[in-house]
Structure 1
Amino acid sequence: MALPPSRQLLSEYAPEGVLRVALNHGNRILVGRDETGAPCGISVDLARLVAGTLNLPLQFVEYERAADVSGSATEGVWDLCFLAVDPKRAETLDFTLPYVAIEGRYLAGPGCDAADAAALVASGAPVGTVEGSAYTLTLERQAGADHLVRFPDIRAMLAALDVGTVAAGAGIGDVMAAEAALRPGSRVLSPPFMEIRQAMAIVKGRPRAARHLTDMLANLARSRAIADILERNGVARNAAVLPD
């Protein structure tokens, strides 16, 4: 039987005595709201599982964008978060191994004639993206970075796509597919431009908790508990990433 977490470990996880978990509502695959307006989804279920394992009370700190989560990492307002792994973010956060892989894809508007993702990049057409998101951070390091048009949130990006300010938008594959279905003549381009590997992260400077969280998440993945959470929230079980 596993020993209960030590007082020192719990003080690293939750120095205020409550496990404060940041939620990014900008990722609609991982976080949503129920009919009462309360947060729900994969991140919420996983946070509850972690807090329950640690026997800690749980508090959600809610943000609308990934950039707002990562940008507040040093402000002492939350303890854990759910973000895509990125080297820039790793300057202030210690990431676990990824627990789920999500595709990043382009949504081409009706006026875009690019046959695929490579043709879109080669064309030099303006591509909308949400500033500070994992896919933006990746696209900024790839060919076509000069043609990115950054928007504060996905609503602004989609509005620009609808009026033709940008030829295409970048985002999470399933979200782009849902938006394409609402826009006659729009389509999602293949192949994906990246695999977005989502992980949990803890503020730097808490080494015991960082190691413990990584091990805990790996054990949850091996036990298929994470796959169960994905399936319960409408995401394919095979999107779960198993540790080596």
Structure 2
Amino acid sequence: MILSEHEKAAILAELAPTGKLRFALNHGNAVLVNPGSTAHAPSGVSVDLAEAFAAALGVAGEFVHYSKAGDVSDSVAANDWDVCFLAIDPLRAQDIAFTEPYVAIDGNFMVPAASPVREAPDIERLGLTVGVTRGSAYSLCLLRESRRATIKQYDSAAQVTAGLVARDIDAMGGVRQAMQAVAAANTGCRIVEPPFMSILQAVGTRTGRPLAQSFADSFVREMKASGFVKEALERHGSGNLRVPASAGV
């Protein structure tokens, strides 16, 4: 992506009015931020994309760290970040302008091994109680679409897992990759197929910043077309995930 110095300055004036280009990093998404990576040495697909984003504008970026996605979206009004990496959701889109998605992540249910649930629609049919992490994309989806199932929100994925192990809930919803590790550690649990949703991850900027949004859109399209996203996913152990094609490609 080649920009003139004038174009870079105009984008940065709108995108980072504080003079710093701040990236919100969601450590709760194990697919995009590597588990165990710290605020001092973050790593993962989101980190790689943030560094490439800043480099395209000729500036250094800095990270603002969050433990879960809901904390990122809830902090829009506080003006604590300029660019985020979140799943697209209509509620979030009221305040965040999203690019097209750069990766699709499966959202699945996990249940006790003896559960009568055999496929995702059984959760709704049986009117079960599902635990989710508050503010996550899958929690927003389930809260919006569930009619018979009860959605119980927890403050962290660890609390949801504890609720399932203690049988306080009938199932938990979450990102497949994260739950595979939980299922491996809790042999009395299993993941339900097929996924109940596709979680479409995108780059987000604040609404009302058209130059920033246009740049972010172009950036994501280029990162997908060049193979950067796919290579980053493979490098960080998620090469099996789908990179959605851009419109018209």
Both structures adopt the same fold (TM-score exceeding 0.5): yes
**Match 1:108 to one of 108, 111, 119:** 111
Q: Distance in 1 between matches of 2:90 and 2:204?
A: 13
**Match 1:130 to one of 114, 118, 133:** 133
Deviations 1:23-76 (A, max 9, x none): 111111111343895211110111001111111111100011111100111211
Q: Does 1:179 align with 2:182?
A: yes
Counterpart amino acid of residue 126 in structure 2: S
> Could you tell me how far 1:176 is from its partner in structure 2?
1.3
> Could you tell me how far 1:106 is from its partner in structure 2?
0.3
Q: Distance in 1 between matches of 2:13 and 2:70?
A: 27
**Match 1:198 to one of 196, 201, 206:** 201
Aligned residues of 2:85 and 2:203 also touching (Cα < 8 A) = yes
Deviations 1:109-129 (A, max 9, x none): 234221121122211221111
Distance 1:34 1:149, change over 3 A: closer
Aligned residues of 2:125 and 2:148 also touching (Cα < 8 A) = no
Counterpart amino acid of residue 9 in structure 2: R
What residue is the counterpart of 1:30 in the other structure?
32
Q: Does 1:242 align with 2:222?
A: no
Distance 1:110 1:237, change over 3 A: closer
Say which SS state the counterpart of residue 113 (structure 1) adopts: coil
What residue is the counterpart of 2:64 in the other structure?
61
Deviates more, 1:229-238 or 1:81-90: 229-238
Q: Does 1:118 align with 2:121?
A: yes
What residue is the counterpart of 1:159 in the other structure?
162
Counterpart amino acid of residue 82 in structure 2: D
Deviates more, 1:128-137 or 1:8-17: 8-17
What residue is the counterpart of 2:236 in the other structure?
233
What residue is the counterpart of 1:46 in the other structure?
49
Per the normalisation by structure 1, the TM-score is 0.94
Q: Unaligned regions of 5+ residues in structure 1, if any?
A: none
Say which SS state the counterpart of residue 192 (structure 1) adopts: strand
What residue is the counterpart of 2:2 in the other structure?
2
Deviations 1:194-235 (A, max 9, x none): 000000000112111111110111011111111111111111
**Match 2:21 to one of 15, 19, 22:** 19
Aligned residues of 1:227 and 1:237 also touching (Cα < 8 A) = no
Aligned residues of 1:73 and 1:92 also touching (Cα < 8 A) = yes
Distance 1:215 1:142, change over 3 A: same
The total of aligned residue pairs comes to 244
Counterpart amino acid of residue 116 in structure 2: D
> Could you tell me how far 1:13 is from its partner in structure 2?
2.0
Per the normalisation by structure 2, the TM-score is 0.93
Q: Distance in 1 between matches of 2:227 and 2:240?
A: 9
